[in-house]
Amino acid sequence: MSDDRTQVQDTQHAFLVAWGWFAEHIGLIQALQDVSLSQKNYWHTPQTKVIEFLVAILGGLEHLQDVSRSAHPLDMDQAVAEAWGQLAWADYSGVSRTLSSLSWDEVGALMRALEQVEQSLIQSELDILRAHQQRIRYDGDLTGLPVSNSSKTFPNAAFGHMDDEIRLGYQAAVVSLESPTYRRLWLSAAHHPGDTVSCTQAEALVLAAEARTGLRPRRRTNLLRQRIGALERQMATIQQRLSIQRESVRKADDRLTAGHRQALEQQAEVAQLEELYRVRQREERPTSRLAQVRKRLKTAERRYESREKALQLAERRLAKTQAQQDIQHDELTHLQERLVRFMRDNETNLAPVEAEFRLDGGFGTYENVALLIEMGYEVYTKAHNNQVVAFLQGKTAAGTSWTRVGANAEMTSWKDLSLKRCPYPLDVGLERFYTGHKLKHSALLHFGDDPVTEDLPQWFEHYNGRQTIEAGIKESKRVFYLHRIKVRAEPAIYLQERMVIFAANFIRWATSWLSDETEPAADNLDVSRMGVKQQVKVGAHVSAQVIQDSRGRLLRFSEQSVFAGKSLRLHRCDEAHLCEKESCQLLPFSSESHLIAQPLG
């Protein structure tokens, strides 16, 4: 390498350099630098510090101060800064101040920049699915981000269920796409207080997925019309009951009024006789007229009390029925508005897709299941209410056939089973399994075209395939430290959440790109065989020489590193130097360009 233009630098964060080259290729750096941030520029621009924050997340730094206080500080690594298009990095304290000063509008603009960069890469996966006529499969979940229970400095944090405990913190609602190339790609993350519960977020997850992909299935408006018709018939029955109960209240009120009048008459007569007996100094005897009138008064008073209770009972029944009618009226209005919206969705949906949503039991309320059915999805979930499990256990007997579906799990099922308060029949599976010496049960719910009751092991395996999102959540916390909240301003907390799921996608795309763009050589490091964890925990903290010359870019890993003797060379390809390699994808980024993804090894 005798070229005068050869540049050699040392880095302690080799993969962060390579990822900077990929970020430049897909236009990420420019997209973030183009976001307007209303903060003063001193030594570093606020955009530089936002990019530095993303690089720190990609490097798996547990705490923000690790940017400057780790064994090999990121902010001292000039090679990484230049690979990411920056003159230098800021101290972590400056990054913290910039993040804390970001407004919600500014964070929204940064999110839109990330999404713009991601869109063509996500779209390429959707194109593959559609080209092979495969179903689009989404997984959704809610994950807790706890902070110290005694903390007073996290805005809008709230106590809620997190990791089987009641903790103070936040909840992140996330959606992933099952990708043919990368297995899992994150689509969205939404920020919520810690007391947010899963059953309130199902519709938001679906809408977030549809907004991200621009695709949706055809709404099942015919089923929704049938549901509305059934509800209208129920309301007609309730209206008849209301008429009868109103008449009962009127009659009970009339009887009470008559009883009250009789009691007053008896009281007046008793008072008159008492005065007469006093004036005449007569003694009241058990058989005297006064005694007889007293008995009639007590009878009238008891009759009044009885009729008063009867009126109260009739009024309670009427109030209960009226409340039921009000609830159903609100539900009918809501469903009619949904029908109008869904009809409009179908009219504007020129290319409906086949799509599926898998959710855990926290989302599996009847209303959520019905909503996803009406939105057109193949639905896989678990029953939210444990009473369903008890009901299904009651339907089993000694002769019930159980099918082994796992190492310690068995299932039995019912096809098109009608469940109370669920508007649509569902495929229902009761599974039993041992945890230690304790036998547990749970209920799987399904709606759609898949004949799940005909192959219970496949149903069990397919539903549990949603463990890919659970693995993604674990990765976000153990690799990118999502749960270690690095800032105390809420917009910046959301920025961290969103950048973590972006980082997980980014590294998968970068892996494919590096594998394609690396020139074949005997000492070539095969990045495609490295998982995300190894790349972040090891590759992003390994030492190397960064060599750039007329032939391209080279990472030569140092003899003191785990990759000793290995290199990564990316051939040169830019607007002034057209590459002759047919598979080259190092093209100037535009909103229309996209990465042709290759399956990982």
Give the per-residue pLDDT at 590. Answer: 34
**What is the DSSP pairing of strand 355-358 with strand 136-146?**
parallel
Give the per-residue pLDDT at 572. Answer: 60
Give the per-residue pLDDT at 26. Answer: 95
Give the per-residue pLDDT at 4. Answer: 57
Give the per-residue pLDDT at 42. Answer: 80
| Coil, strand or helix at 433 | strand
Query: Residues in the chain with pLDDT < 50?
Result: 1-3, 574-601
Whether 92 and 57 have beta carbons less than 8 Å apart is answered as no
Q: Which residues contact 81 (CB under 8 A, 6 or more apart)?
A: 87, 88, 89
Whole-model pTM: value is 0.86
Whether 481 and 59 have beta carbons less than 8 Å apart is answered as no
Q: Which residues contact 524 (CB under 8 A, 6 or more apart)?
A: 518, 566, 567, 568, 569
Q: 505 — phi, psi (to 5°)?
A: -65, -45
Q: Report residue 31 as tokens.
A: 């997209």
Give the per-residue pLDDT at 593. Answer: 32
Q: pLDDT tens-digit profile of 187-208?
A: 999 999 999 999 999 999 999 9
Question: What is the Cα–Cα distance from 500 to 480, expressed in whole angstroms?
Answer: 6
Q: pLDDT tens-digit profile of 516-528?
A: 888 788 889 999 9
